[in-house]
Structure 1
Amino acid sequence: MMGLFERYLSLWVGLAIVLGIAAGSIVPSVFQFVASVEYAHVNLVIAVLIWVMIYPMMLQIDFSSIKQVGKNPKGLLLTLVVNWLIKPFTMAFLGWLFFKGIFADWVDPQTANEYIAGMILLGVAPCTAMVFVWSQLTKGDANYTLVQVSINDVIMIFAFAPIAGLLLGITDITVPWDTLILSVVLYVLVPLIAGVVSRHWFEKNTGLTQLTHTLNKIKPWSIIGLLGTVILLFGFQSEKILSEPEAIVLIAIPLLLQTYGIFVIAYWAAKYMKLPHNIAAPACMIGTSNFFELAVAVAISLFGFHSGAALATVVGVLVEVPVMLSLVWFVNKTRHWFSA
C-alpha cells in the first residue's frame, strides 16, 4: 500500500506552500541569498534538492528489464504514443487555449507565457516514480511497469529537450537551449547513471535484499527534497501569491482537464487494443501523471524562482495526487471492462 509520503503528499505540499509563503513574507533576505547561489543559470541549492528527490527513484529502476520489451509490445506502444506523441501537444494546446484565450483578460501576456511554459514542461515529463505506487494500487503487472518506466527514462534523455524546445518555441517563448540541455543532463542523465551504477554495485556486492533495505532508508529524503523545493518556490512567489491568489486556481483548471483528458484517451485506447487490465492500468497511469521533479527543476533553470513557469509546475504537484487517487478508484471499479 502507499506509504505515509505518497498517501498524504498533497497535505505535505500544502503545508510546505503555507510555510514558504509565510517565510517569504517574514524573511525575504534568506530567499534572496538562496537565489544568488547559482552557476550557469542553475541554482545550486535547488540542484542538490532535486538530486536528493530523483536519485532514489532512479535507483529502484532495473534497466535490465528492458530486454522483456517484446513480451507485450502493445502496452508499451500505448505508453510511448501517449507520452511522446499526444500528451506534450495537448498540454501546450490547453495552456495556449486558457492563457491566450479564456483567461487572457486576467493574466498579463508575460505571465501567461510563463504559465504555458510550466505546463509544457510538465507535459513533456512522463511519470517515473509515483507510477509504481499507482501500478501497485491497481494490481498492475509490476515487472511490465518496470519495463515501461525504464524505456520512458531512456527516451527522456533524448526527447525531452527537443520536444520542450519545439513547443516552447511554438508558443513564442525564447528557448535558452544551452540551459535546457544542461538541465536534462543534470536532472535526468546524471541521476540515471548514478542509479544504474549504484544498483549494479548493490546487486554485485550485497544482493537485492540490501538494495531494498537501502531504498527504504533513503526514500524519506525524497520528501525532504521535494518539500524543500516547494518551500523555496513559494517563498520566492509569496508576494505575488498573496496579491493574486487566484493564480493557483487559474493554473489548476487546465492541468485538471489535461490529466483527466489524457486518461480518457489512454484508457479507451487500452480497451480498444484489448490489453489485459494489469497492463492497461499502469500504461494509462504513466501517461496521465508527470515527472514533476524534473519539470520543477527545469522551470527554475530556464525561467527562475520567481517565474510563473516555476509556479505552474508546483501547482502540478499539488493537484496530481488527489486526481490520480480518483483515477485509481475508477480503474479498480472498471476492472471488468478488461480481460484478466
Structure 2
Amino acid sequence: MTLTEPDSEAAVTLTRRLSPLDRYLAVWILSAMAAGLLLGRLVPGISDALAAVEVGGISLPIAVGLLVMMYPVLAKVRYNRLDAVTGDRRLMASSLVVNWIIGPAVMFALAWVFLPDLPEYRAGLIIVGLARCIAMVIIWNDLACGDREAAAVLVVLNSLFQVAAFGLLGWFYLDVLPRWLGLGDGQGLDVSPWQIVLNVIVFLGLPLLAGFITRRAGEKRMGEAAYEQVFLPRIGPWALYGLLFTIVILFALQGETVTSRPLDVARIAAPLLIYFAVMFFGSFALGKQLGLPYDRTATLAFTAAGNNFELAIAVAIATFGVTSGQALSGVVGPLIEVPVLIGLVYVSLSLRGRFTWT
C-alpha cells in the first residue's frame, strides 16, 4: 500500500517536527559506538574499571543505562489494554515457537556451519541464541512503531520461559544434541537459576514496575490526557539517552579486545548477521501471513531477532572464564546486534507502507 498524498504531506510535516535526537538517530548511535571503541582503546584501564563495577555478575553501568532506556517506554504502555494482547493467540503462540524452538535451533545450525573448528566461539554463539531478549527490544520496538502493549507482554513471557528453560536448553544444545548428531563431545553449561532470576528482575522487573506505578499515579493525579500529552513527552528523550549511554559503555568495555582481534570478531560476526536477518525477516513474514497488523508484526519480529546479551555474557564468563572464547562471542553479540537492529528499524518502517495491513 502506497501513501496517499495527504499521508505523504503528514509524513513530511512529522519529519520536520522531529527533534535532532530523533531525526539523526543512526548518526548518534554510530557516534556512540565509535566513542566507546575509542575510550576502550585509548584510555588505559577503563575497561577493567568498568568491568569491576558489578554486583552478582551484573555490570552496574550497563544496568543503569538499560534502566534509564526502558523506563520511559514502559511508562507509555497502557496497562489496562494488556488483555487485548494476551487474547491474541496467534501472536502469543507464534512468539513462543519462534523464540524458544526456531531461534535456538537456527543459532545452533549457524554456529556449527561457520565455526566447526572453533568450539569455544561456537559454544558462545549458541549461548547467545538461548538468551532471548527482554530489555533492549523494548526500544527497538518503540522506534519501529510496534505495539508497546504487545512488547511488554512478550518480554514478560520470554522472561518466564528464560527462567524455566535456559539451563535445560543449554544442556540440550551444548551437550546432548552434538552427541546425537555425531559432532563430537559436548560441553556442559553450569548456570545458576538465581543468576537468571536476578537478570530478569533487574532488566525487566524494575523498569516494568516503575513504568506501571508511574502511569497509574500519573493518570490519577493529572488525568490521562495530560499524562499522555505533557508528562510522556518530557521523559521520552531519556530512552534514547539511556540507549546511547549503554552503547558507549558496551563498546568501551570491549573496545581493546575487539580491535585487537579483528579476524576472530569477523568470524563470529558472520553467523550473527545471518541469524538476525533470518529471525527478523522470517518472523516478519510469519506475522504478515498470520494476518497480524503491522504494529504486532513488528513486535514479533524484533522480539525474535533480539537477544539478552547481558545474560549471555554473564553465563559465558561464569561458566568458561572472562578470557574464554565463549565470553568473546557473547561480547561480539551486542556489538553486531546494535547497528544491525537499528538498521532493521528503518527496514521495518519502510515495509510498513508497502503492504495493506489489517
What interval of TM-score do these two structures reach, taking the shorter chain for normalisation?
0.7 to 0.9
Contact 2:62 2:246 in 1 (8 A): yes
- Structure 1's 35 and 259: CA in aligned 2 closer, same or farther, altered over 3 A? closer
Give yes or no for the alignment of 1:96 onto 2:111: no
SS state at 1:175 partner: coil
SS state at 2:138 partner: coil
Bigger mean CA deviation after superposition, 191-200 or 2-11: 2-11
Specify the alignment match of 2:158 in structure 1.
156
Of the candidates 325, 331, 336, which is equivalent to residue 310 of structure 1?
331
Deviation at 1:183, TM superposition (A): 0.6
Amino acid at match of 1:281: Y
Give yes or no for the alignment of 1:299 onto 2:308: no
Specify the alignment match of 1:204 in structure 2.
220
1:27-83, Cα deviation, whole Å (9 max, x unpaired): 13222122112222222222222211111121111111023358xx5xx22322232
Bigger mean CA deviation after superposition, 83-92 or 185-194: 83-92
Q: What is the TM-score with the length of structure 1 in the denominator?
A: 0.80
Deviation at 1:289, TM superposition (A): 0.9
Bigger mean CA deviation after superposition, 192-201 or 153-162: 153-162
Specify the alignment match of 2:144 in structure 1.
134
Deviation at 1:123, TM superposition (A): 5.7
Deviation at 1:303, TM superposition (A): 3.9
Deviation at 1:300, TM superposition (A): 4.5
Deviation at 1:182, TM superposition (A): 0.5
Specify the alignment match of 1:170 in structure 2.
172
Specify the alignment match of 2:119 in structure 1.
109
Specify the alignment match of 1:285 in structure 2.
298
- Cα RMSD of the aligned pairs, angstroms, is 3.1
Deviation at 1:250, TM superposition (A): 4.1
Contact 1:135 1:282 in 2 (8 A): yes
1:240-290, Cα deviation, whole Å (9 max, x unpaired): 2213334554455444434443455445544554x3xxx432222112114
The structure with the larger Rg is: 2
Deviation at 1:184, TM superposition (A): 0.3
Unaligned runs of 5+ in 2: 1-13, 175-188
Amino acid at match of 2:192: P
Q: What is the TM-score with the length of structure 2 in the denominator?
A: 0.76
SS state at 1:333 partner: coil
SS state at 1:28 partner: coil
Aligned counterparts of 1:229 and 1:291: Cα–Cα separation in 2: 21
- Structure 1's 134 and 150: CA in aligned 2 closer, same or farther, altered over 3 A? same
Contact 1:119 1:312 in 2 (8 A): no
Count of matched residue positions in the alignment of Structure 1 and Structure 2: 319
Amino acid at match of 1:168: G
Aligned counterparts of 2:248 and 2:231: Cα–Cα separation in 1: 27
- Structure 1's 211 and 262: CA in aligned 2 closer, same or farther, altered over 3 A? same
- Structure 1's 82 and 190: CA in aligned 2 closer, same or farther, altered over 3 A? same
Aligned counterparts of 1:249 and 1:97: Cα–Cα separation in 2: 18
Aligned counterparts of 1:130 and 1:32: Cα–Cα separation in 2: 29
Specify the alignment match of 2:239 in structure 1.
222
Amino acid at match of 1:99: A
Aligned counterparts of 1:264 and 1:193: Cα–Cα separation in 2: 32
Unaligned runs of 5+ in 1: 137-144
Contact 1:51 1:187 in 2 (8 A): yes
Aligned counterparts of 1:9 and 1:174: Cα–Cα separation in 2: 39
Aligned counterparts of 1:7 and 1:245: Cα–Cα separation in 2: 32
Specify the alignment match of 1:142 in structure 2.
none
Specify the alignment match of 1:141 in structure 2.
none
Amino acid at match of 1:86: V
SS state at 2:171 partner: helix
Aligned counterparts of 2:145 and 2:214: Cα–Cα separation in 1: 24
Identity score, percent: 20
Deviation at 1:97, TM superposition (A): 2.0
Contact 2:66 2:242 in 1 (8 A): yes
How do 1:249-264 and structure 2 match up within 5 A?
249-264=266-281
Amino acid at match of 2:330: A
Contact 1:126 1:286 in 2 (8 A): no
Deviation at 1:146, TM superposition (A): 4.3
